[in-house]
Amino acid sequence: MKNCEYQQIDPRALSVSPSSAQNHTEKKAQRPRRKWEVFPGKNRFFCDGRIILARQSGVLPLTLGLIVVTCGLFFAFDCPFLVEHLTVFIPVIGGVLFVFVVISLLRTSFTDPGILPRATPDEAADIEKQIDTSGSSTYRPPPRTKEILINQQVVKLKYCFTCKMFRPPRTSHCSLCDNCVERFDHHCPWVGNCVGKRNYRFFYSFIISLSFLTSFIFGCVITHITLLIDDMVMLSCLDSSLCTVVELVICFFSIWSILGLSGFHTYLVASNLTTNEDIKGSWSSKRGAEDSGNPYSYNSIMTNCCVTLCGPMPPSLIDRRGLLPPDEATPAASASDIELPLFAAKNDTHMVG
């Protein structure tokens, strides 16, 4: 028994055990990494990659704060008076609109707008081989384009030097997020995200519902002030009157911009255009093109609205919660696998002896 115990504690085996134990510990310490942890764009991720935001999203809390404060003042000071003098449905309508606005805002902010994954090194090298005709590795050619036909109209596809690919139709590279976004509309700091193919419907529902909410609160505030003046109780309710005036000022200066923005995007939806295309005048006759019509329009307002807002939700292409292949962990694992059987073989030999 003593001989067996002595032979088990072999100095040669102990010389191997520290490295094998270290490799075994490192193998246990390694956890599977997800793709959002090494995402190349300028985005921030939360909840293990389920929520995506632009890196510069500091205006989003201001947007949410303005909505919450304005509605809080409305529910605290206007609703009790209006329920007593008019109807109980006023806070109900305001509450429904408020919930819809907040949900639409969060869906717009936390949804992948349609980011396209960048080309892999093999794909980028293949594209470079196809389009490189200069014969020099240091020469950078002028902006590269491809031409395709969409509804019998020529559309140019531009090459993105950052993502190393030709952008699909209606795709643009956002300089703030450093991503190519499908059906790129614009980057909105108020929602802290790009607005594109996958979250435009939420953005449109946000601004439309916000227009209704702002108009509703503005009308209720005017009614509240009018009833107070008629009852001659303005001075006796000074605190309530000051809060009502604050609401009136906020609504007055925000309602015009919100209504204008809603009207502009309603025009874009009816025409099947994006803000980016409208600003650049991509399909405008002012550019002097012979065929300057919008190739994406269905020539029907109803069809354009249904395609833009009611179409199927496309899946996210970046797979931000997918697991990375364990390429870096493979050498350490193989080393430990080689050393551990040797250690076990030595122990078995001494036990037999």
Mind telling me the catalytic residues? Answer: 188
Q: Name residues whose C-beta falls within 8 Å of residue 294's C-beta, 6 or more positions apart in sequence.
A: 271, 272, 273, 277, 283
Dump the DSSP string for 80-110: HHHHHHT-THHHHHHHHHHHHHHHHHHHHHH
The SS3 assignment for 59 reads: helix
Q: Which residue type occupies 347? A: N
Q: Which residue type occupies 225? A: I
d(CA 144, CA 141): 7
Q: What angle do CA 102, 302, 266 make, to 5 degrees?
A: 45
Maximum alpha-carbon separation in the chain: 108
78-82 long-range Cβ contacts below 8 angstroms, 24+ apart: 78/217, 78/220, 78/221, 78/224, 78/244, 78/247, 81/224, 81/227, 81/228, 81/240, 82/220, 82/223, 82/224
